[in-house]
Amino acid sequence: MILFIVAMAATRRHLRLRPLVGRLAAVALFAAALLLGSLLPGQGDRFVARLSAAESKTPAPEVHAIPFSTADALVLTEEALRGDGILYQKTGPYSLLTLWRPTRIEVNLLARIFGPTPRYRYAIRVEPEGSAKSRIVVELEARGIPEDKLGRYTANSRFSLFGEIDELAAKYPPPSHLPSTGGVKFTVLPNENLRAFAKRVTGNPENWRPIAEDNHLSSPSDVSPFQTLWVRNALLPASGPPAQAASPDTPHSQ
């Protein structure tokens, strides 16, 4: 409080000087007094903490799964970023970092002098979830953006990034890696893993291993509902495939 009074008195005194010099000196002295007051015992840690909080924000990451390999998912992500005019750099085989982008957030004088410039960027990585499935993880990194305004700057709020990736994926569906002859295609049912699928289709749950090998899967849980799997003829019962599998070229379910 004393420092505030001193600063105000000094401001009045300097305003009697030349207008420009006096005003500049008064503003500088007033800001210095406020800074010194904030750094008095018991206040310094709070001041530093406020600046540190403004320097780094880490809200929960956004996650989106797509039925593409990590390489294809990365290509789709890059295409979506380029379509929005977002500049980025590669930071790893399957990770990207966009360049800092400014915001239009209004800040007060002290925040402008002592705080960071309000800006944001995205750290993006593509993680595998099986042989032909991936998830795209986007983390918002912010500087100087108030916590209650962070939601405006997530990738989906600002650019509808995942929606654009899905649109590109619909235009360029992933190529099928399933064999076209020598077997029958079946559809995985909801709540069915690969062992249950193998038992239903072939009569033997242990046949999940050759089915996984033929379909480039890594484990019994590496399937999703309504996914199409190819089963070689040698694994099917001697009586033939289930009644629903009337054609070797059409997906079927039971």
Domains in the chain, start-ordered, CATH in brackets? 2-38 (no CATH), 55-171 (3.30.530.50), 176-254 (no CATH)
User: Span 178-195, mean pLDDT?
Assistant: 86
pTM, two decimal places: 0.56
User: Span 222-246, mean pLDDT?
Assistant: 77
pLDDT by residue (tens digit) across 239-250?
Answer: 765 655 434 444
User: Span 64-91, mean pLDDT?
Assistant: 92
Q: Mean pLDDT in the chain?
A: 77
Q: Is the pLDDT of residue 114 over 80?
A: no
pLDDT by residue (tens digit) across 163-179?
Answer: 999 999 888 776 666 66
Give me 58's structure tokens.
């880490």
